[in-house]
C-alpha cells in the first residue's frame, strides 16, 4: 500500500484515479508520494519513506530538485496540462492592454450614484478608448505548449506573428503556423512586435532577460505580457520603461511589491492555471505519472533524474 500526501489541494478528479493500492495520508512523514502545486518545498526535510514527488503544474521552482535527486527521488511535472488555461488568460491580458476595459469599468463603479450615468458615460468613454489587436503583430518568445497555443489563437484573431525559440528550427516553427515569421535573433522580434508575450522557464540564462537593453530594442509603445515567471523581467527597468512611455502596458500574472506600484501595469494574482479544467488535467497527469513510476519504474516528465 502506497501512501500519498497532498501539500496543496489536489483536484478530486485526479485523486480518484488512485487505485486500491494507494491511500491518502495527512502525515507527510509516512508518505511514499507527495503531490504539490505551489507550496514551497525548499526548506522541507524529507522522510526516508518518500519515493516520488509530482508537481500538478509545469514550473518546479518551488521544489529542491537537486536535493531530491541526491536522495534518488524523482520529481515529475505536468507540462501542457494547463496550457489552454494560460493561453486564454494571455489573450485576455492582451485585450486588456489594448482596450482600457479595467479603467472604464472602474469609472462606472466610481460614478454609481450618478442618476444620469448613461449620459455621463457617453461623455467619459473617450478617456478609455484603445486599439484593436487585428492587423497588429504579436511576438512570442518561447514556442512550447503555451506559446504555440497563444500564437495560433492570436493568428485566428487576425494578428501577424513573430516567433523565437532557441530549441526550435524553422521547420518545427512552421508546423505551429506556416505564416509565422520565425527569427533566431531576439532583436528581430523586439523590433517588429506591437505586443510581446514570453513563455520560457526561469533558468540562469533567462532570469532578468527583459532588461533595459532588451526594452531599448522594442518598438515605442509596445505592450509586454508576462504569464511565465516573475523573475524573467527586471522590475526596475520595466518601471522606468513604463514611466517614460517606451512600454505602454505591462501585464503580469505575478504580484510583487515592485510591480503593484508601477504606473500602467496590469497585475493579476497568478490566475494563469486557475481554472477547474486545468487543475483537473494537472492532477490527473501527476497521479498517472507517479503511479506509473511506482508500478513499472518508468519516468515520464521527470525533471531531476534520467
C-alpha cell at 114: 450618478
198/3 Cα distance (integer angstroms): 38
Residues 6+ apart with CB under 8 A from 302: 74, 75, 76, 293
- Sign for the CA dihedral angle at 64, 65, 69, 73 comes to positive
Task: Pick the closest to residue 80 from 306, 305, 286 (CA basis).
Answer: 286
Given the C-alpha cell 461623455, which residue does it identify?
A: 123
Residues 6+ apart with CB under 8 A from 195: 94, 97, 98, 133, 136, 137, 138, 139, 159, 222, 223, 224, 225
C-alpha cell at 15: 485523486
C-alpha cell at 151: 500564437
pLDDT at 156: 98
pLDDT at 191: 98
54/41 Cα distance (integer angstroms): 12
Residues 6+ apart with CB under 8 A from 36: 6, 7, 8, 53, 54, 55, 56, 62, 63
C-alpha cell at 273: 492555471
Chain mean position to CA 254: 9
pLDDT at 50: 98
Given the C-alpha cell 509565422, which residue does it identify?
A: 180
Given the C-alpha cell 505551429, which residue does it identify?
A: 176
Taking only the tens of pLDDT, the chain with its 306 residues reads: 999 999 999 999 999 999 999 999 999 999 999 999 989 999 999 999 999 999 999 889 899 999 999 999 999 999 999 999 999 999 999 999 999 999 999 999 999 999 999 999 999 999 999 999 999 999 999 999 999 999 999 999 999 999 999 999 999 999 999 999 999 999 999 999 999 999 999 999 999 999 999 999 999 999 999 999 999 999 999 999 999 999 999 999 999 999 999 999 999 999 999 999 999 999 999 999 999 999 999 999 999 998
Q: List strand residue ranges (DSSP E) for the chain, in order.
A: 2-6, 22-24, 33-36, 52-55, 75-76, 137-141, 160-164, 181-183, 195-198, 222-226, 247-252, 265-267
36/10 Cα distance (integer angstroms): 8
Residues 6+ apart with CB under 8 A from 107: 121, 124, 127, 128
At 5 the three-state DSSP class reads strand
CB 222 within 8 A of CB 194: yes
pLDDT at 228: 95
- According to DSSP, residue 24 is labeled E
pLDDT at 59: 85
50/254 Cα distance (integer angstroms): 31
Amino acid at each position: 500500500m502506497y501512501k500519498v500526501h497532498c501539500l496543496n489541494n489536489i483536484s478530486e478528479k485526479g485523486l480518484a484515479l488512485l487505485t486500491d493500492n494507494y491511500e491518502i495520508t495527512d502525515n507527510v512523514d509516512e508518505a511514499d508520494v507527495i503531490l504539490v502545486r505551489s507550496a514551497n518545498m525548499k526548506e522541507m526535510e524529507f522522510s526516508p519513506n518518500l519515493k516520488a514527488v509530482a508537481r500538478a503544474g509545469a514550473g518546479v521552482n518551488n521544489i529542491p530538485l537537486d536535493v531530491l535527486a541526491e536522495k534518488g527521488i524523482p520529481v515529475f511535472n505536468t507540462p501542457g496540462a494547463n496550457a489552454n488555461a494560460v493561453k486564454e488568460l494571455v489573450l485576455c491580458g492582451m485585450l486588456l492592454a489594448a482596450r482600457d476595459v479595467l479603467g472604464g469599468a472602474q469609472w462606472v463603479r466610481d460614478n454609481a450614484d450618478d442618476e444620469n450615468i448613461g449620459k455621463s458615460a457617453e461623455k467619459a468613454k473617450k478617456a478609455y478608448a484603445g486599439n484593436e489587436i487585428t492587423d497588429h503583430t504579436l511576438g512570442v518568445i518561447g514556442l512550447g505548449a503555451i506559446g504555440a497555443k497563444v500564437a495560433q489563437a492570436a493568428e485566428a484573431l487576425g494578428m501577424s506573428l513573430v516567433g523565437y525559440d532557441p530549441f526550435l528550427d524553422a521547420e518545427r516553427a512552421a508546423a505551429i503556423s506556416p505564416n509565422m515569421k520565425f527569427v533566431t535573433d531576439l532583436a528581430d522580434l523586439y523590433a517588429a512586435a506591437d505586443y510581446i508575450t514570453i513563455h520560457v522557464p526561469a533558468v540562469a540564462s533567462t532570469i532578468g532577460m527583459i532588461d533595459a537593453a532588451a526594452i531599448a530594442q522594442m518598438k515605442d509603445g509596445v505592450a509586454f505580457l508576462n504569464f511565465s515567471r516573475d523573475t524573467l523581467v527586471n522590475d526596475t527597468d520595466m518601471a522606468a520603461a513604463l514611466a517614460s512611455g517606451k512600454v505602454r502596458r505591462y501585464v503580469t500574472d505575478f504580484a510583487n511589491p515592485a510591480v503593484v506600484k508601477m504606473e500602467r501595469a496590469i497585475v493579476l494574482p497568478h490566475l494563469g492555471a486557475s481554472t477547474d479544467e486545468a487543475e483537473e488535467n494537472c492532477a490527473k497527469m501527476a497521479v498517472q505519472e507517479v503511479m506509473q513510476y511506482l508500478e513499472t519504474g518508468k519516468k515520464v516528465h521527470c525533471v531531476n533524474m534520467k
